[in-house]
């Protein structure tokens, strides 16, 4: 299949290029990068030396329409106008937020600008999403925080282990989650030896995305209190989800519930009791590592989740979705082990 990557000079775009260059069924046929058009790919992504003297092309609908499938790795708000012009024969996986939300009012509150609508949500491990993705030609790839938090919460919500109306989440992300644009708060001198919360008090844009998709699994409206943290590392997310239990369940029983829920999910590993998820163990992979415990002192479920925000949180998951859309095994080209 001829594959295109639009927005390939960003962090997620670079990760797409790395993974796609080793995919057995996808051939990179079009690589574009807005303001970086004309520059050598390896000059922006020095680790991609095998691209030789290949250069980023200008972004054009004509270039996209020559592809069988295209990944859009663009800043939020830029995908909607472009997708409207792309041939319906071209499959699209959008890594931006433009088509993730069902609620127009939530879009206006958290993002602003014109609401573009909603596409099939590309998180294969929950609900009947695998079948929906497989039959879709347009996919909204989930947000990185949303991926970790939804996967960490879904088994408990489906099995009614917790009060889904009051989830508390604290999650730390590496700096690549903020994109490649230069920002003072993301330079090394500000980030190193420092942890800081941001978008404090429920202001993070992934909140409605998480609530909408978890509410589909519940008989109640899911509500989360989410505090994100900027961590002094380039990539990775470690999220902790806690919620009040609805009944007396042991850690072993909760752990078993999670294992059963994800038993057919090739990328989700519920670790043995006592082993904690580490972001470094997910680096460069599409894996999700989960641990579960019951805090009997407060009767709360506690879930720890680690992912690579550029892997399962972006490029890896996008390729997983593309595999499903194309009729391939979802783990094709995504069997990398972690680097520590």
Catalytic residues: 144
Nearest by Cα to 134 from 331, 330, 302, 311: 330
**Cβ atoms 248, 189 nearer than 8 A:** no
Taking the C-alpha atoms of residue 165 and residue 211, their distance in angstroms, rounded to an integer, is 10
Q: Please give the structure tokens belonging to residue 71.
A: 């990944």
Residue 8 phi, psi dihedral angles, 5° rounding: -75, -5
The CB density around residue 67, as the number of other CB atoms within 10 Å, is: 24
Taking the C-alpha atoms of residue 95 and residue 77, their distance in angstroms, rounded to an integer, is 11
Taking the C-alpha atoms of residue 303 and residue 273, their distance in angstroms, rounded to an integer, is 12
Complete edge-to-edge strand list for the sheet that includes strand 268-270: 196-197, 224-230, 162-173, 237-245, 300-307, 288-295, 268-270
DSSP string, 102-116: S-HHHHHHHT-S---
Q: Please give the structure tokens belonging to residue 64.
A: 């996209």
Taking the C-alpha atoms of residue 282 and residue 280, their distance in angstroms, rounded to an integer, is 5
Taking the C-alpha atoms of residue 321 and residue 129, their distance in angstroms, rounded to an integer, is 10
Q: Tell me the CB-side half-sphere exposure of residue 164, using CA atoms within 13 A.
A: 25
Alpha carbon distance, N-terminus to C-terminus of the chain = 33
Q: Please give the structure tokens belonging to residue 7.
A: 């927005």
Taking the C-alpha atoms of residue 247 and residue 77, their distance in angstroms, rounded to an integer, is 43
């Amino acid at each position: 299949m001829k594959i295109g990557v639009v927005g390939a000079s960003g962090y997620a775009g670079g990760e797409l290029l790395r993974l796609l260059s080793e995919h057995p069924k996808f051939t990179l046929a079009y690589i574009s990068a807005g303001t970086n058009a004309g520059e050598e790919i390896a000059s922006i992504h020095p680790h991609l030396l095998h691209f030789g003297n290949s250069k980023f092309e200008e972004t054009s609908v004509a270039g996209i329409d020559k592809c069988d499938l295209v990944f859009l790795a663009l800043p939020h708000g830029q995908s909607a106008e472009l997708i409207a012009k792309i041939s319906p024969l071209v499959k699209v996986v959008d890594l931006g937020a433009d088509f993730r939300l069902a609620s127009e009012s939530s879009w206006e509150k958290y993002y602003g600008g014109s609401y573009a609508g909603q596409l099939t949500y590309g998180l294969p491990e929950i609900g009947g999403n695998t079948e929906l993705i497989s039959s879709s030609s347009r996919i909204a790839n989930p947000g990185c925080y949303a991926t970790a938090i939804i996967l960490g919460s879904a088994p408990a919500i489906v099995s009614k282990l917790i009060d889904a109306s009051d989830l508390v989440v604290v999650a730390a992300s590496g700096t690549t989650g903020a994109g490649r644009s230069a920002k003072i708060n993301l330079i090394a001198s500000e980030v190193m030896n420092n942890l800081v919360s941001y978008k404090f008090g429920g202001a993070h844009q992934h909140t409605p995305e998480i609530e909408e998709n978890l509410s589909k699994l519940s008989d109640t409206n899911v509500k989360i209190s989410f505090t994100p943290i900027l961590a002094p590392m380039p990539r990775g997310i470690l999220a902790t989800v806690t919620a009040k239990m609805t009944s007396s369940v042991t850690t072993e029983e909760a752990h078993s519930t999670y294992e059963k829920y994800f038993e057919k999910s090739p990328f989700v590993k519920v670790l043995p009791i006592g082993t904690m998820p580490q972001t470094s163990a997910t680096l460069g992979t599409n894996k999700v590592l989960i641990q579960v415990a019951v805090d009997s002192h407060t009767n709360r479920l506690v879930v720890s989740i680690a992912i690579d925000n550029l892997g399962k949180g972006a490029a890896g998951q996008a390729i997983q979705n593309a595999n499903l859309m194309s009729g391939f095994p979802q783990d094709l080209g995504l069997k990398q082990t972690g680097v520590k």
